[in-house]
Amino acid sequence: MNGRISDRFHGVLSRRELLGAASTTACIFAFGAMAGASGGAPPQTLPPLPYAANALEPVISANTISFHYGKHHKAYIDNLNKLVEGTDLAGMPLEKIIAATAGKSDKVAIFNNAAQAWNHAFYWQSLKPNGGGEPPAALKQKIDSSFGSLDACKKELAAAATGQFGSGWAWLVLEGGKLKVVKTSNADNPMTQGMKPLLTIDVWEHAYYLDYQNRRADYVGAVIEKLINWQFAAQNLGGK
């Protein structure tokens, strides 16, 4: 990523902030800048992975990462740059592009590529080598109060990820002070519904098919138990 938004991720917004394209949000997400001011601003760039391509093995292979990150994620960035070139959306942060195009039939292609670029960057951060385990205390307390237990939360997350028909995403989100699990289709993002994403699991086939073929449930279970980044979710929640 370039340095056009400092070190904070501005993507997790309330509905009012998102639809108003607000430019300041205190969600900690240090994968760098996604865009900057228009008028000669450089194009969107592919953010670096937060770990080596083979760091998630054996759950997710370096081969899958090479295609998923190096081909699919990059394609969303490249397509978006082509679509917004010469428009007033060029140089905007991804979340502002998402806000400006969500629900607009004449901007579907732009929305899809901007949202997929955002979703993928968020997904990479939602995973980490030697993940899973016990969440940080503040997040664990919120999980217990919202779901009853960590196991119940993980079961809901797994059910959403395996039950999503076709391509999409499963999310742990904050809404109205309570955690919940939601799923979205294709490029859709819970920010556009006023929710704050804490972490996500990609269930597009390109996320797992080279390693698991049609065994999505095995991929989802392994991600939740061995890779899920509860620390990242806690940072987004505002915990320690």
Report the alpha-carbon distance of residue 175 to residue 167 in Å, rounded.
Answer: 24
**Rounded Cα–Cα distance for residues 92 and 116 (Å):** 15
Q: Position 145: which residue type?
A: S
Distance of alpha carbon 64 from alpha carbon 46, whole angstroms: 17
Q: How far apart are the first and last CA of the chain?
A: 26
- pLDDT number for residue 41: 61
Q: Classify 137-237 by CATH class.
A: alpha beta
Least Cα distance to 129 among 226, 232, 233, 31 occurs for 226
Pairwise CA distance, residues 85 & 83, whole Å: 6
Q: What does the alpha-carbon distance between residue 53 and residue 10 come to, in Å, rounded to a whole number?
A: 25
Q: Which of 222, 209, 188 is nearest to 114 (CA)?
A: 188
> Rounded to two decimals, what is the model's pTM?
0.84
- Residues composing the chain: 240
What values do phi and psi take at 40, rounded to 5?
80, 5
Return averaged pLDDT per consecutive 10 residues of the chain, 240 residues in all: 32 43 34 40 88 98 97 97 94 93 96 98 98 96 97 98 96 96 97 95 97 97 98 85
Which residue shows structure tokens 């955690």?
179
Residue 177, CA distances (Å) to 54, 190, 197, 233, 238 in order: 37, 15, 12, 15, 12
pLDDT of residue 43: 86
